[in-house]
Structure 1
Amino acid sequence: MSDVGASDGVTSAASRTPVLREPAHQVSRQAVPFWTVSALLGDGVVVVAAALAYFLIPDVPGWTGLVVLALALAAAAHVALMPRIRFRVHRWEVSDTAVHTREGWIGRETRIAPLSRVQTVDSRQGALMRLFGLASITVTTASAAGPITVDCLDADVARDVVARLTEITAATEGDAT
């Protein structure tokens, strides 16, 4: 993997200002079905609860049915669109000098953390993630912005990234502050 740093960007000849490039790697393709099932489960609970309330509570105003229908349509759009948009946006890269991520599906957030600031590297794999062969890594830094998380990597890739980050940060001088 290439380094993330000022020398990695494209430099404008006129201004000599480095331009930040996007991180090199996408998350696993399994992220799309994982995010779809996650959204379906979460949104499904809300829609079913709203529908049950509508049908089981006596004397509910008639317009409440339209609210439940609108909620169901919004949930369907969320389940259909969010995973695909999120997959196109989420990117990550780990180099010998930094961790670089970009995420979001409505808003966008780009984070770069120098490895000299890394305090811990953790991995997480919930039950649903295990079904899809995915894992996430969290890099905690000495930053007020909080940790950097790379969601939905193939489990083997996540293990390799954690091992690589551990090796690099162990060899980095400094106290991560």
Structure 2
Amino acid sequence: MSDRADEHSAASDEAGAAGLPGGRRAGVPGRAGVSLRAPANPVSRKAIMLWLLEGLFWSVLLAGGSFFLAGWIDEDRWPWLPGWALDNIWWLPWLMVLLLVPGTLIEPFWRYAVHRWEFSGDVVYARSGWLSREWVFVPVSRIQTVDKAQGWFERMLGLATVEIRTASHAGSSTIKGLEYEVAAKLAEGLARRAEELRDDAT
């Protein structure tokens, strides 16, 4: 597993003022390294079910597609495929199932352990990922829009996603797996604080 800290340089000073690990300070030669701590707040435990449902949905599509493809190849006997592949083509969908099932069952719990968030000192700090991890610091002063989003499965489970956008795509962040009420309060608090900071700047 490879861990990647995507720390935005624009957030480094504000993150340091908030008591969070600074974006650049950890990588600047000659200065003491600062290890990345986990953000304070976990996502909702219902996010495990959300990621399980999403994983099952895509796994069923992929497995169903592989069975369809195997049947098509077996019926038409594609001439450009070697004989050993044609004779064993029905191994393809079963191999796909064997590969998909463990990942589908493990991924939701792994993601729940990784995904965390925090809003402190005018900085939004989030960690996300699965096989790779991403740490993101977003200064509230740079936020342009804050939105709540709900997919089908999120609506079923009472969850929502907070989408934070800045002028730079690299400085934006998405916090998924929040209870709807928590997402609503976070989005409202971020939008209000960003407006206050813009008014202070003028």
The TM-score bracket by the shorter chain reads 0.7 to 0.9
**Please, what TM-score do these two structures have when normalized by structure 1?**
0.86
Distance change >3 Å, CA 16–CA 55, structure 1 → 2: closer
SS of the equivalent of 2:170 reads coil
Q: Percent identity?
A: 30
Per the alignment, residue 22 of structure 1 pairs with: 38
**Which digits, 9 at most, give the CA deviation of each residue in 1:148-170, with x for residues without a partner?**
00001000100010111111111
**Please, what TM-score do these two structures have when normalized by structure 2?**
0.76
SS of the equivalent of 1:108 reads strand
User: Would the aligned equivalents of 1:9 and 1:18 in 2 still touch at CA under 8 Å?
Assistant: no
User: Would the aligned equivalents of 2:70 and 2:92 in 1 still touch at CA under 8 Å?
Assistant: no
Larger of the two Rg values belongs to structure: 2
Per the alignment, residue 42 of structure 1 pairs with: 58
Instruction: Check if 1:129 corresponds to 2:146.
Output: no
2:183 to 158, 166, 173: 158
**Which digits, 9 at most, give the CA deviation of each residue in 1:70-110, with x for residues without a partner?**
11111101211111101100111112411111111000111
Q: Where do residues 52-91 of structure 1 align in structure 2 (5 Å cutoff)? A: 52-56=68-72, 57-60=74-77, 61-91=86-116
How many equivalent residue pairs? 170
1:32 Cα deviation from its structure 2 partner: 0.5
Q: Could you tell me how far apart the structure 2 residues matched to 1:127 and 1:175 are?
A: 39
SS of the equivalent of 1:58 reads helix
Match for 1:35: what amino acid?
A: W
SS of the equivalent of 1:21 reads coil
Distance change >3 Å, CA 59–CA 144, structure 1 → 2: closer
CA-based RMSD of the aligned residues comes to: 2.4
1:173 Cα deviation from its structure 2 partner: 3.0
Q: Could you tell me how far apart the structure 2 residues matched to 1:44 and 1:135 are?
A: 24
Structure 1 residue ranges without an equivalent (≥5): none
User: Would the aligned equivalents of 1:116 and 1:174 in 2 still touch at CA under 8 Å?
Assistant: no
Bigger proportion of residues as helix: 2
1:62 Cα deviation from its structure 2 partner: 2.5
